[in-house]
Amino acid sequence: MISPELVEHLFAAASIQRWNDYPRMVNLVELDKQAHKFIIAYMMANIEEDINKVHLIEAGIFEFLRRVVVTDIRPDVFRKALQLKEKEINAWILSKLSNSLIDIENGEFLKRFERYLDDPMMYKKERFLLKAASYLSTKWEFSIVYQTSQFLSGIEKVKEAVEEEIEDYYELVSVRKISLNKKISKIIDLSGRLRFQKRWAQTPRVPETSVLGHMLIVATLSYFYSLHIGACDKRIENNFFCALFHDLPEALTRDIISPVKYSVNGLDDIISEYEIKVMEDEIFPYIPSKFLKEFQYVLGLYDGKKNEFLDKIIQEGEIQVVEDLKSYNEDQYSPIDGKALKNCDRISAFIEATLSISHGVKSKELTQGKEYIAKKLQENLREGDVDFYHLAKEIEIFLES
């Protein structure tokens, strides 16, 4: 499904500082920027016409992988370098990533990545939309940086350049709506605030990861899981975005760790009910009606509750929970691998704890949390021909070696 080397590569983005030549009131890292970009891209794709969301997801992952490799190059310098040395830079990127990608989808994923780097026309519409989403995410970040940098010479010039860039994307209806501060911009702001909420907030940890960054890691794991099982396009799309948004209500409720959530009888139901209420009050009114129903589905709303970790399909217009998705691997059923997504969520949390311990930052909470997650993975070890417990132990051995 995914190699430990690639896992390490993805989590490296949690240590990549952004705007590190400016004073910042909060830590701004690449992982959070990429997660916010994906959320913005989802909203934009549902407003625009003729956007292939599977291509959007894959192009976004390609860009994410490339960005982690070239992290030491400032974006404006990188764009200039690409104009002069694009072939050489792409070859260098592939040399860094090939070993960790070669086994995915029997090498087909790596072939598409190579083609993407060489062919600017591949996923052309989706690339353009992702560039716009990246700009909007950067602009949101810069509003934070600007608050603490106004005393610096040249900051007004940077501000002007950031604000002018929006003109490159005005052909997109979604960009015009967001720039005019229409309702959808409230969701972009709300999701961006998830970078301020830290995972495992009760214990020191290295690298720190936010709820926002965690959501992207789970979504990326779900994507590679979907490729591994040969999922249909709608299943790939649903799995990725269900994972990407699975903690969105925590922007309003804050993170509650699983051992607390599930150890008090009935507490999980109370939290779920409250999440529904805050979503109805603070999220759904700002989602355009044309895709509200789809958004509620990927958020996991079912039977009056929020449960994104159920295996579900849509049949004859109704959401149904099913035992086995093998018979429903067609776009018409709009399947979601909820049980597998839960294991992707657990794997991500397991890696967060394991990484910190491997860096020498260890606590009782991390050790106990890691043991708790491993136990849960062992109890639910196999979904769709993937042994998640074995994968976790494989990653653990690699990270601690």
pLDDT digits (tens, 9 = 90+) for 268-321: 667 777 888 888 999 999 999 999 999 999 999 988 888 899 999 999 999 999
Tell me, yes or no, whether 175 and 234 share the same domain: no
Give pLDDT tens digits for 71-108: 766 666 777 777 788 888 889 999 999 999 999 999 99
Tell me, yes or no, whether 172 and 244 share the same domain: no
Tell me, yes or no, whether 250 and 147 share the same domain: no
Tell me, yes or no, whether 296 and 180 share the same domain: no
pLDDT at 257: 52
> 67 lies in which domain range?
4-184
Q: Is residue 200 one of the residues assigned to a domain?
A: no
CB 242 within 8 A of CB 298: yes
pLDDT at 264: 56
Distance CA 148, CA 150 (A): 6
Distance CA 91, CA 210 (A): 32
Q: Could you tell me the pLDDT band of residue 385, with boundaries at 50, 70 and 90? A: confident
pTM of the shown model: 0.94
Tell me, yes or no, whether 218 and 179 share the same domain: no
Tell me, yes or no, whether 216 and 175 share the same domain: no
What are the residues facing 210 on neighbouring strands?
Answer: 198
pLDDT at 201: 87
Q: Is residue 198 one of the residues assigned to a domain?
A: no
Tell me, yes or no, whether 136 and 240 share the same domain: no
Cβ neighbours for 169, distance < 8 A, ≥ 6 positions apart:
128, 131, 132, 135, 175
Tell me, yes or no, whether 9 and 57 share the same domain: yes
Give pLDDT tens digits for 39-66: 999 999 999 989 999 999 999 999 999 9
Peptide bond between residue 207 and the one before it cis (omega within 30 degrees of 0)? yes
pLDDT at 62: 97
Tell me which residue of 69, 138, 127, 135 sits closest to 98, measured CA to CA: 69
What does the DSSP 8-state code read for residue 254?
-
Q: Is residue 168 one of the residues assigned to a domain?
A: yes
Q: Report the pLDDT averaged over residues 148-164.
A: 93
Q: Is residue 197 one of the residues assigned to a domain?
A: no
Tell me, yes or no, whether 218 and 160 share the same domain: no
Mean pLDDT (the chain) is 91
Whether the per-residue pLDDT at 148 is higher than 70: the answer is yes
Q: Is residue 291 one of the residues assigned to a domain?
A: yes
Tell me, yes or no, whether 179 and 222 share the same domain: no
Give pLDDT tens digits for 183-215: 899 999 999 999 999 999 889 999 999 999 999
Q: How many domains are there within the chain?
A: 2
Assign residue 180 the CATH number of its domain: 1.10.3210.10
